[in-house]
Amino acid sequence: MFSNDLIIKIINYLDNNLYKKVSIDELTRIFHYNKDYIMRLFKREIGFTIVQYVNNKRIYNSLPAFNSKDLSILNISINYGFYSQEYYCEIFHKVIGVPPSTYYKFINLNHDISEKDISLIQFNVALLEYKFRRINEYLNNIPPKSTIKVLSVFK
C-alpha cells in the first residue's frame, strides 16, 4: 500500500519548519482539511500525534549537540525549537528515558551513570532511530503518478 499524499506533504512541511512554532490550525489552513481529520490520519499513518512527531524529531536532532562541551542544555533547547529549558527537559526525559544531564554523562563516558540508565538510553535512542527510519521509508513509498490513457474508437 502506498503512502498518503497528504501525510507526506504534512511531514515535509513540518520538517522544513521544525524549529518554528507550527499549529494544527496552521496546517488546516495550508492543506485545506479538517483539523480532526488531519490529526486522526496522521496518528493512524505515522503512529505519532503531530505534536509527538515534532517533539520527537527535535529531541532526536538535538542528540548530537551533546557532543559539544560548549553548549548548555538551555542553548541546546533553544537551538532545537523549544521555548523553555524546562519543557525541553520534560520532553527529553519522556523520549530518551533519562534527563538531559544523564544523557550528557553518557555521551561523555562519565562513569557516574548506572547500567540501567545506559540500557534505557541505548534502547530509546535505537527505538527513535527505528521510528524515523520507518517514517523515511513511508516518505519514499510515494504512489506512482497516474497516467491517463486515451482510448480511441476511431482508429
Domain ranges (residues) in the chain = 5-140
Task: List pLDDT tens digits, range 41-77.
Answer: 999 999 999 999 999 999 999 999 999 888 899 999 9
pLDDT band at 141 (very low <50, low <70, confident <90, very high): confident
Q: What is the mean pLDDT of the chain?
A: 90
Distance CA 128, CA 53 (A): 11
Helix (H, G, I), strand (E, B) or coil at 59: helix
CA 155 to chain centre: 54
Q: CA-based diameter of the chain, in Å?
A: 82
For residue 111, is pLDDT > 70? Answer: yes
Q: Percent helix, strand, coil in the chain (nearest 5)?
A: 65, 0, 35
pLDDT value for 144: 63
pTM, entire model: 0.86
Q: For domain 5-140, give the CATH number.
A: 1.10.10.60
